[in-house]
A and B are shown apart, each in its own frame.
Chain A
Amino acid sequence: MNQDKLTITIDGQEKIYDVYYSFTCPQTNKGYIAYSEHQKDNDGNEIIMVSSYDPNISTMKLYPVTDPKEMELVQEVFEKIKSIA
């Protein structure tokens, strides 16, 4: 997988997303990926979408992140990147 781009075909239309960051969590045994197609909300903020995947298999399925704890984890990594940058 290219670390910078993520191409997803929806209803026959390809959409290219920029992958912002990805990481794995040993406790959940999942990988998480944050990506965006640079859409902005009403306030002008860019929307970043997050999905989880199984890092142990070669073919990757993207799953929605529904667990609030997992979402907190993704948020924390984002905050971490901010703190490092």
Chain B
Amino acid sequence: MAIEEKKLNEEKKLKSPLAHEKNNDPLAEINDKIDNLTSLILVRQIEDHINLMTTELLDSNKLRDQKIETLTEKINNQNELLQDIKDLLSRNLIQTATKVEKQALEEISRPILDESDDEIKIAPLPDKEEVEEQIQTPVVEENKEEVHETLEELEPVQEEVEEQQLVIPDTMDINQGVKVIERGQVDDLILSNATTYIKNKGDKLVINGINEEEEEEDKKSELEEAEEKLEEQEQLDLSRGDITEVTEEETLTDEVPTVEGAQDITPSEAQQVVAQESIEQPNQAAEEVPQDIENTTKYTYENIKANKTFVERVKTINSKLSSNNEADLTSMPQNMKQSWDDNLIVMPEVLGEHLAR
């Protein structure tokens, strides 16, 4: 509308001056015409420009619409994808939920299904009278009596234990009582309870080689056997009617000289008797258990120093023995003999030096 009004106004302007100039001056008319033409050209240019602008606008609008369409399509696609994902997730959730639910249901239903008897059993209540009896039973009194009895039984045991405890410190003191002994200062050597300990423990060496308490027990048993035999002999003699005065001492000396005769015979004779037994012991042990000796690790020794009088005394004992020591060595296992022979090289030298001193 505004463009059309402008056109009309311009046309009016062009007509009116021409009419005026026709009447007045031809040059003025020409100038008016030129003006009109230029104005027309300008108008046309403006129109063209406007047309271009409109086309451009339209094109841009078209492009914008196209972009919007593409974007909407994309958005729609994404929405569809999201929807699909949602659907999948919801399906999975449902499936897992159903699985869990099934498992839970199975677990819950198992014990119920396994039980043959669906009824819940309730333990019968105890009889009222029994309960009352139990409550009225003097449990404490009974226990008191039992405790009293056990205490009475324990009293003598406790006394024994106390007596033993009184003894133990004397023996235990041995371990604590090992004292320092200065080497080379014979007269200044200080207390050692090791001797007491060895005595108590029975770790004593008898000069003839018998150091076990078992030996004493054996001797006791032998003595008992000898006494029994003596009694039997007496009974036999009595039964025969041949009553002779047989002293117990004589009979025992005949039967078991190694035990009973120890006090009657001289010490050297006693040593001889027992030494013979001890010399035979290693031989027997070697014959009985040679494999054990071979398998066990054997300690070796060196720097043996022996007392002259002691060796002489042992020598005297050995001279009275009938058995030969060489036989003992040959009967030993090979490895034991080897170590024995090895040490034999050392010992005579040391011993010889000492004996010569």
Binding site for B on A (CB under 8 A): 1-11, 17-28, 32, 34, 36, 40-51, 53, 58-66, 69-71, 73-85
Contact = CB atoms under 8 A, between A and B. Distances in A.
Contacts of B204: 41, 47-50
A63 B208 contact: no
A64 B174 contact: yes
Contacts of B169: none
A25 B207 contact: no
B268 to A, nearest CB: 10
B205 A21 contact: no
A63 B219 contact: no
Given A7-B186, A25-B299, A73-B301, A49 B325 contact: no
Interface residues of B, number: 75
Contacts of B308: 4
B251 interface: no
Interface in B254-292: 259, 262-263, 267, 270-271, 274-275, 279, 282
Contacts of B297: 27
Interface of B: 174-175, 178-199, 201, 203-211, 216, 219, 259, 262-263, 267, 270-271, 274-275, 279, 282, 297, 299-312, 314-315, 317-318, 325, 328-329, 340, 343-344, 347-348, 351, 354
A43 B262 contact: yes
Contacts of A27: 297, 299-300
Nearest to B329: A83
Contact of B315 (A45, A65, A85): A85
B301 A24 contact: yes
Contact of A1 (B183, B317, B343): B183
6 contacts: A7-B189, A18-B309, A25-B299, A50-B205, A78-B209, A85-B311
Q: Which of A3, A53, A82 has the most CB of B within 10 A?
A: A82
